A = this chain, B = another copy of it.
């Protein structure tokens, strides 16, 4: 049997807390048991607080790619023009869904280590008439970058364009709300910053998005991809369109409770601070960040350009096999070009950032790089000056 890693610091799914593990030890309820209706309602309420929204939220079964496909399938009708803002692998993927459901994609793209300029969005929307939807990825996990979604979506709203945002790894990494950020459908995942288990899509849906779904000639209904089914069943009647994943809901309830106990402000700050420390370490080691500037680096993971003479596999495999720490490499087109230090969920903390940077240093030394051991960790430690757990809370 393959030896398991000691720490999973990949870019999602990641290690979950012992409290989250324990939450899944609750007995499996029948989904129409009043106790489960209560758990699900409670979880929905918590999700609204984590999303900081008054919009409806929908917890769909299956990981966020289902939520993204469902959003597009539920909104886009044949012939609809969709502005797809692309700054990475995940953004590019949106095009497949847009085409599959008959949409007509208009692409605005930048290199995969950059972020889109809101002015360019405005320019496209001004130039090209008849755009109904805008799709954009907030935190491009494979590149370790973020787009200025708040600015982009606000511009879209000026033009009456409905926005669909992939914030799968963004929720918890920045202090956002669908209303403030003008996101009509925002899709998040529990297995990234929230530190939960994969298997659910977390959507917030604006009244405008509901209206658009319902206004289609042939609204999508009676399908696993239907977001509207959730409105008419769960939201309006407290019934389920299918059997929900009882245990996954337990885990989600738990991670939302943990985040709110800490407060979203602290939760986000913890991720931002950890990411900053990781970047400081990378620079102190003389390595290059993949993101073209620190300003557009995401808080969920830090993408590092593979140093000359090494390979991503050598780094990842050595770190995994010798020191038991699993990190992620590139993905799709970015494969081989970068490795990603992970600081989502529990890993967004000085203890585990230090452990990870330490093992990263040790690995690079093993592979022949030359630097003063500890210089990366030292830079991270300096960044962490002023940190105080006691300002947050961490309970069991």
Whether the pair B24, A5 counts as a contact (CB closer than 8 A) is no
Partner of A12, one of B243, B248, B351: B243
Whether the pair A28, B15 counts as a contact (CB closer than 8 A) is yes
> Assuming A5-B35, A32-B328, A247-B197, is B381 touching A362 (CB within 8 A)?
yes
| A378 located at the interface, meaning its Cβ lies under 8 Å from any Cβ of chain B in the complex | yes
> Assuming A62-B62, A243-B65, A377-B358, is B27 touching A4 (CB within 8 A)?
yes
> Assuming A222-B96, A375-B374, is B27 touching A25 (CB within 8 A)?
no
Question: Please, which residues of chain B bring their CB within 8 A of the CB of A35?
Answer: 1-5
Within 8 A of B (CB), among A1-49: 1-8, 10, 12-16, 18, 21-22, 24-35, 38
Partner of A359, one of B323, B325, B351: B351
Tell me how far the C-beta of A7 lies from the nearest C-beta in chain B, rounded to whole angstroms. 6
Question: Please, which residues of chain B bring their CB within 8 A of the CB of A362?
Answer: 350, 381, 384-385, 387
Whether the pair A30, B14 counts as a contact (CB closer than 8 A) is yes
Stretch at the interface among A148-156, A159-167, A207-215, A388-396: A388-396
> Assuming A24-B247, A33-B5, is B390 touching A321 (CB within 8 A)?
yes
Q: Mark A201-244, 1 if CB is under 8 A from B, else 0.
A: 00000000000000000000011110000000000000000111
Question: Please, which residues of chain B bring their CB within 8 A of the CB of A222?
Answer: 96-97, 100
Question: Please, which residues of chain B bring their CB within 8 A of the CB of A69?
Answer: 223-224
Tell me how far the C-beta of A155 lies from the nearest C-beta in chain B, rounded to whole angstroms. 29
Whether the pair B61, A224 counts as a contact (CB closer than 8 A) is no
Question: Please, which residues of chain B bring their CB within 8 A of the CB of A369?
Answer: none
Q: How far is the CA of A116 from the CA of B198 in the complex (A)?
A: 40
Whether the pair A1, B38 counts as a contact (CB closer than 8 A) is yes
Lowest 10 A-B CB distances belong to which pairs?
A: A374-B378, A199-B245, A354-B358, A10-B30, A374-B374, A373-B378, A355-B355, A62-B62, A373-B381, A22-B25
Could you list some 9 contacts between A and B, CB below 8 A? A3-B395, A4-B394, A13-B30, A15-B27, A61-B61, A63-B242, A63-B243, A322-B387, A354-B355
